[in-house]
Chains A and B, each alone.
Chain A
Amino acid sequence: MAQPLTNEIARYLAARVRWHPLEIAFWLAALASIFLLTNKHLILTEIAVLALFALSLDLILGYSGIISLGHAAYFGFGGYVAGLLAKHGIVTEPVLALIVSGLAAAVLGFVTSFLVLRGSDLTRLMVTLGVSLVLREIANQLDWLTGGADGLQGVVLAPVLGLFPFDIAGHVAYVYSLIVLFVMFLLARRIVNSPFGLSLRSLKGNPLRASAIGIPVNGRLVAIYTVAAAYAGVAGALLTQTTQFVSLDVFSFERSADVMLALVIGGTGYLYGGLIGSILFKLMQDYIANLTPQYWQFWIGLVLVLLVLVGRDRMTNWTTPIRGLFARIGPRGDHLAEGAQAPAADRP
């Protein structure tokens, strides 16, 4: 009696993590954009960088319930590390430099992770914001190293893998960024669909119950925070490498706020939210900036206000069919109700 049920459940779980046709379509479209949208590669690279950054925020916000106002700390740290590695010829090959920058950001994430374990939501907000501002101030003070407010000059990138030099039109940069995004996405997809990822979702929903079944809540939070910091650091490094420049604004509050908005537009907790949201955010930003280059921040602010007033849950309902298709098809074809959900950390 148990055996058929075991098989059925195993099939169900396997179906849940299988690649859905929409996912494949998404990445095929991304691949196609290399060839079909050749005159848009510059903005597409920006989207890819933001998407990776938003992905990193989703890991801690969407999956683990940590609200951070200063995720740019790790983005900026990775960015500066990559810039310095390139400028001083310490690590010239870009992919290797990317890995080193990610690891450096991971270390920073690990060291600061204990700050977000304790205290309330407000404390976390403040602490994460504080960390990003501290880093900004450090970068400002160490201007002999970082170039200070003028930014880091003289960042020259060697060819990727020694074979593909960065070109002015940004084609190599885009393909490079897209591949990095895809690889990191694959890894993130593995992580969130693993037992570890499931435990993250549980401790976001009910940390009390999670520890009551033996999950080391703090340990898991530290782990995912470190990973998310690494991802953010890689995104920042990617920005530096594709623009050959980095300056203090990588640590700015606006950056942390923008990535949060991008993620929230697309929806938290299903990985594609960061990607879709980044596309929408960049397109929106581009459109608004063309209309009012100096005051586009006003309209971004308005979008935020309206988004909250209209209700993120109504936005989520809009993305629910998409989200449902990506994540929730059971063996009997049940679309398990995303709509009927209990309160989680970021829902009322």
Chain B
Amino acid sequence: MAPVLETVGLVKRFGGIAATNDVSLRIEKGARHALIGPNGAGKTTIINLLTGILRPTSGKILLDNEDITAIEPHQRVHRGIARTFQINQLFGELTPIETIGLAVSERMGTGRHWWRLVGRKPEVIDDVVALIEQFRLTDVMYHPTAILPYGKQRLLEIAVAIACRPRVLLLDEPAAGVPDAERHEILATVEALPKDVTVLLIEHDMDIVFSFADHISVLVNGALFTEGKPDEVARDPRVKAVYLGEAIDV
């Protein structure tokens, strides 16, 4: 089966350093694919390359066999790739309704309409409502994002990405920075993502990785170290060595 997202020999150099070193990833459709590795391995760089924020020094990126390497970031969203950021990137002054509404209307192609007032398209609002409820943001939906508790902001971060109805969702440490009390909500949300959405997950928390992922790639120093099914990777002594004593419980 052809992978839905694929990189071919992806390289990214900054000066003399190869942050991404000849990475060839294959992500299958519907997969729950985790990308793990020690700090500084270049995981976020890969996400930035996949989404177009960074241009690769060489190599290709293929979405459903289409070469998207030269395509602008905002256009990749329309092609079906969405991402969340490791540190929340939201619109502080906008409310969750407006934030999600923006993503939905961009997706529906009505985002550039300057002659229509916001809130006049029922199909947009329906979609926004569905997402607000799905992500349990109903009680805070009228508040400016900046005053929301961090856990709610994190949920919004994921909600916004889902609002783009992506084929491939790139989650960059979704539970990062979230207080313990609110973590389970994030994780439950990630678990409940629709099965037809392919998910590439960057995570440090091995509990999440092993409960969620069906395939793991290990990145070390910008290069693919090893990959395989979770139990294969967990048993691999080299992986444990690379993490230097970080216990990996299966």
Q: Which residues of A contact B (CB under 8 A)?
A: 1-2, 5-6, 9-10, 12-14, 16-17, 190-191, 193-199, 201-202, 205-206, 208-217, 220, 223, 330, 332, 334, 336-337, 340-344
Contact = CB atoms under 8 A, between A and B. Distances in A.
B91 A206 contact: yes
A9 B125 contact: yes
Interface of B: 51, 53, 72-75, 77-78, 82-83, 85, 89-95, 97-99, 101-103, 105-107, 110-119, 122, 125-126, 128-130, 132-133, 138, 141-147, 160-161, 163-164
B163 A341 contact: no
Given A6-B125, A195-B116, A198-B98, A215 B111 contact: yes
Given A5-B133, A210-B102, A212-B73, 10 more contacts: A6-B125, A190-B117, A193-B117, A193-B118, A194-B117, A198-B94, A209-B160, A213-B161, A220-B112, A337-B144
A158 B229 CA distance: 81
A191 B114 contact: yes
Nearest to A11: B119
Nearest to A332: B142
Contacts of A206: 89-92
B27 to A, nearest CB: 19
Contacts of B147: 337, 340
B143 A209 contact: no
11 contacts: A6-B125, A16-B118, A190-B117, A191-B114, A198-B101, A201-B94, A206-B92, A330-B142, A340-B147, A341-B144, A341-B146
B157 to A, nearest CB: 9
Given A5-B129, A14-B119, A196-B114, A202 B146 contact: no
A31 to B, nearest CB: 24
Contacts of B105: 195
A209 B91 contact: yes
- Most A Cβ at <10 Å: residue of B91, B128, B132: B91
A197 B94 contact: no
Nearest to B121: A195
Contacts of B77: 211-214
A336 B174 CA distance: 28
Contacts of B126: 2, 6
Contact of B89 (A10, A209, A223): A209
A180 B122 CA distance: 34
A340 B146 CA distance: 7
A62 to B, nearest CB: 12
Contacts of A194: 113-118
Contacts of B83: 212
- Most A Cβ at <10 Å: residue of B74, B94, B107, B122: B74
A5 B51 contact: no
Contacts of A190: 114-115, 117
Contacts of B125: 6, 9-10, 13
Nearest to A4: B129
A20 to B, nearest CB: 15
B75 to A, nearest CB: 8
Contacts of B145: 342
B146 A342 contact: yes
Contacts of B89: 206, 208-209, 212
A214 B95 contact: no
A199 B146 CA distance: 17
A258 B160 CA distance: 40
Contacts of A10: 119, 122, 125
A62 B29 CA distance: 43
Contacts of B163: 213
